Amino acid sequence: MYQTNCMVAQSGGPTAAINASLAGVISGVKESSAYQTCYGAVNGILGIQTENYLNLTERIADDETLKRLIATPAMYLGSCRHRLPDFREDEGPYTHIFRQFEKLGVGAFFYIGGNDSMDTVQKLSDYARKTDSSVRIIGIPKTIDNDLCMTDHTPGFGSAAKYIACTMLEIAHDTFIYPVKSVTIVEIMGRDAGWLAASAALARCGYSDAPHLIYLPEAPFSAEQFLSDVKAKLAVCSNVVVAVSEGIRDLSGRYITASQASDQFGHLQLSGAGKALEFLVKENLGVKVRSVEINVLQRCASHLASACDLSESFALGRRAVALSASGVTASMVTISRTGDDPYTVSYGHAPVKEIANLAKSVPRSWISEAGNDICPQMYAYLRPLIQGEHPVTYKNGIPDYLPVTHLKPQL
Amino acid sequence: MYQTNCMVAQSGGPTAAINASLAGVISGVKESSAYQTCYGAVNGILGIQTENYLNLTERIADDETLKRLIATPAMYLGSCRHRLPDFREDEGPYTHIFRQFEKLGVGAFFYIGGNDSMDTVQKLSDYARKTDSSVRIIGIPKTIDNDLCMTDHTPGFGSAAKYIACTMLEIAHDTFIYPVKSVTIVEIMGRDAGWLAASAALARCGYSDAPHLIYLPEAPFSAEQFLSDVKAKLAVCSNVVVAVSEGIRDLSGRYITASQASDQFGHLQLSGAGKALEFLVKENLGVKVRSVEINVLQRCASHLASACDLSESFALGRRAVALSASGVTASMVTISRTGDDPYTVSYGHAPVKEIANLAKSVPRSWISEAGNDICPQMYAYLRPLIQGEHPVTYKNGIPDYLPVTHLKPQL
């Protein structure tokens, strides 16, 4: 006999795997005796405030639809970037949210998101405890940045890393073709952590060393050292490819942007690290140079998702449902690595207060001493996460994703 | 009994399909009784001048290697951007090239490339006729820009168009998620012709109208009209996506770049059309705006190649071999469309003098009267070209492309 219903929402930036976690929740609810209906709040926590819900148990009823949901990029439920106030200062939003839970018979709330979203999980958990509410609050991790604590890695990261590695290899092929020296700078997302830029190294294979240089935010960036690095590589390799995190900073912590190049070369701020490095090479080395910004493609390219990532994301969604049914709350589900080769993991959970608003950087010891490459530990860590290709169904030549008409993409 | 050998080279910019044409030549030679060995000149016509050849008959001997070649991006033989001089002014390069042909027993030369490469085909053909050489010179078309005359479309275009359409759909999903108005500008390659930017329209499907606006070089661009177009779309749709060709120009023919925006807003030239439109929206509409430049990814993403494109490119390579064996010269192989639905084609050839240095624009009647979208004829033309997915083999999570160590990607 069903005890209650439950609710799920998504928050923060898109990934190729966040709908796999949503599918995991829906699948977990279907097989659970604890919950009857799974509601989805549209646009994160805002959807509860505006009472905008989807009945996911009805909408995603058959296996075919569930499979399409797993493969669909960005967020089926839409997102928000909304921070709840401290409930000791403003209780309004909390009383409304928990009244909604009561009205809909919601016994558990799952929030799929990153560091900021875990702040919401913690605040809702604290409020539930304070008011003796029995609603379990569980976070499900998601971020291409891979910067959540207490979990070996984060759903969404593996797919973004796979996209970056594959794209980097294809860009490398693009650079090989002319018999003239060239430098290609590829800017990769990751404002505070270099995990994504590091994953460019997975493009290296039997015949290609690209990217030849990798710069992460965790190692201070020096323009002089960079130019000297590039010069040294150009001496032994015609077509140098550089992977750079958008978040690189100088010794004093200032971001390297095209505007900083402006002080030297008269350019105004228009762009980020990739353009800044392009200017540096152009002005100082006089060699053919181009910068490529992978941009949003790395977080929404479901056509190249990592099968490992999608399957783990799905499993975490199911695990969240099972844990909540057993009474766990104020927690985030986590992945623990139990082996690198063969790669094995187990799923667990950790108190959300040890995760919310914190960030996990790349250990300095996983970056080369010169700060321009990664170390073997990083390869061992990254490689399993991009394995496997999730099948995509195409229709009329484009992926047949699950329609998101409820987000009103057209009127 | 074999009469002679033959030679092939690649020139111009990379595409995902140019190696499929190379594979077609190699396959054609294998099955032909006219040619024994197929030589590949490295880095286009420059490879003959520097006598840098590969024995492709030996290198690409088995079917497995041929299949990997078909799926490998950019140019297996490397490329060049080199224009031969007029032989009436400088005969030197020509006597060297034809002496090489003689030395290697080359009876036919195949040059895979775009408009500029067809200029080389024409000049070599003219020189062969003048000197009564029996070497047949055949061009095989290739360009993501789709701007070659005398052929319905160009190998490489379909794969780039498929990449753009798929990516545009994924970018659209990325824009739907926040409940705030936004404009996303996607800059697409095509300096002189709008075929590629037009193919973004193939992303439209049952639930998404993105891109909502499309601007091509063939219709003069007006900033006022653009802002009014975007405003009108924002009134009925929250997340407006704009596809813009890098080659858009104003009424007087000047390219729209970020530097032109500088006259009005004080920005210096740093970037192209996408950035210029981003500034226009930011300064005038005060709405959340982002620009994305798809960049080289659209020409090297073999992981998302069009099966239709690769199979036609392969067929044209084979056709070139057969035609040359029957004595055809001074020609480019062509595709004629014999049906739209079902889509059917036949292969033929046309005099290269009607192709070299000419460009095929999008007909104005295929662009909407307002100059901000495409017409139904364009859909019917484009849709067949992106159909089908070519299987890609992955190894260690990245595509298992054919090594190009001979291009010295690392030392």
Question: Would you say residue B371 has pLDDT above 80?
Answer: yes
Q: Quote the CA–CA distance of B327 and B343 in Å, as a whole number.
A: 30
| Residue found under tokens 């082996």 | A339
Tally Cβ neighbours within 10 Å of residue B91.
14
Report whether pLDDT(B410) > 90: no
- Which residues 26-45 on chain A approach chain B with CB closer than 8 angstroms? 43
Answer yes or no: are the C-beta atoms of A53 and A88 closer than 8 Å.
Answer: no
DSSP per residue over A151-193, as a string? SSS-TTHHHHHHHHHHHHHHHHHHHHTSSS-EEEEEEE--SS-
Q: Strands B394-395 and B398-399: what pairing?
A: antiparallel
Whether the per-residue pLDDT at B408 is higher than 50: the answer is: yes
- pLDDT, position B156: 98
Q: Which amino acid is at B13?
A: G
Minimal C-alpha gap between A119 and chain B (Å)? 19
Distance of CA A359 to the CA centre of its chain: 13
Query: Any chain A CB within 8 A of the CB of B278?
Result: no
Residue in the structure block whose two tokens are 């594959």: A166
Percentage of chain B lying above the pLDDT 70 cut: 95
User: Out of B90, B116, B119, B145, which one is annotated catalytic?
Assistant: B145
pLDDT digits (tens, 9 = 90+) for B19-73: 999 999 999 999 999 999 999 999 999 999 999 999 999 999 999 999 999 999 9
pLDDT along chain A (411 residues), means of 10: 85 96 98 96 96 97 97 96 95 98 98 95 98 98 97 98 98 94 96 96 96 97 97 96 96 79 40 89 94 94 97 98 97 96 96 95 97 97 97 96 87 49
Structural fold of domain B158-300: Rossmann fold (3.40.50)
pLDDT tens for B153-200 read 999 999 999 999 999 999 999 999 998 999 999 999 998 899 999 999
Q: How far apart are CA B167 and CA A405, in angstroms?
A: 19
Structural contact between residues B293 and A186, judged by C-beta atoms closer than 8 angstroms: no
Domain with CATH 3.40.50.450 in chain A: 4-156+302-357+388-407
- CATH number for domain A4-156+302-357+388-407, candidates 3.40.50.450, 3.40.50.300, 3.40.630.30, 2.40.50.100: 3.40.50.450
Whether chain A has a CB inside 8 Å of the CB on B411: the answer is yes
Q: Tell me which H or E stretch contains A263.
A: helix A258-265
Nearest to B210 by CA among A16, A60, A292, A398: A398
Calculate the average pLDDT of chain B: 94
Q: Using the beta-carbon criterion (under 8 Å), do A290 and B301 form an inter-chain contact?
A: no
Q: Where in chain B is the domain with CATH 3.40.50.460?
A: 158-300
Backbone phi, then psi, for A207, in 5-degree steps? Answer: -115, -5
A145, A229, A309, A373: which is the annotated catalytic residue? A145
Question: Do A328 and A136 contact (CB within 8 A), yes or no?
Answer: yes
Check whether B362 has a pLDDT greater than 50.
Answer: yes
User: What pLDDT was estimated at residue A272?
Assistant: 86
Quote the pLDDT of residue B269: 40
Q: Could you give the strand order of the β-sheet that contains B213-215, starting from the edge strand earlier in sequence?
A: B213-215, B239-245, B182-188, B288-293
The H or E element spanning position B283 is helix B273-285
A205 touches chain B (CB under 8 A): yes
B residues 301-340 lying closer than 8 A (beta carbon) to A: 301-304, 306
Residue B332 near residue B121, CB atoms below 8 Å: yes
A145 flagged as catalytic = yes
- For A252-383, where are the E strands, in sequence order? 288-293, 331-340, 343-351
Q: Where are the beta strands (DSSP E) in B189-256?
A: 213-215, 239-245
The pLDDT assigned to B267 comes to 34
What pLDDT score does B271 carry? 65
Q: Do B173 and A396 touch (CB under 8 A)?
A: no
Q: What is the mean predicted confidence (pLDDT) over B206-210?
A: 95
Choose among B150, B148, B152: nearest CA to B350: B150
pLDDT tens for each residue of B245-273: 999 999 999 999 865 443 333 334 446 89
Residues recorded for chain B: 411
- Residues forming CATH 3.40.50.450 domain(s) in chain B: 4-157+302-357+387-407
Q: Is B50 helix (H, G, I), strand (E, B) or coil?
A: coil
The alpha-carbon gap from A43 to the nearest alpha carbon of chain B, in Å, equals 7
Domain B4-157+302-357+387-407 in CATH 3.30.1370.60? no
Asked if B62 reaches chain A (Cβ–Cβ under 8 Å), the answer is no
Q: Which residues of A96-109 are buried (b: 16+ CB within 10 A; e: fewer)?
A: ebbebbeebbbbbb
Q: What are the residue ranges of helices labelled H in B82-144?
A: 92-103, 115-130
**Which is nearest to A321 in space by CA: A18, A9, A27?**
A27
For A300-326, what is each residue's pLDDT tens digit?
A: 999 999 999 999 999 999 999 999 999
What does DSSP say about strands A136-141 and A331-340: parallel, antiparallel, or unpaired? parallel
Question: The tokens of B350 are what?
Answer: 């046309």
A268 interface with B at CB cutoff 8 Å: yes
Q: Given CB atoms, is A411 within the 8 Å cutoff of chain B?
A: yes
Asked if B409 lies within 8 A of A174 by C-beta distance, the reply is: no
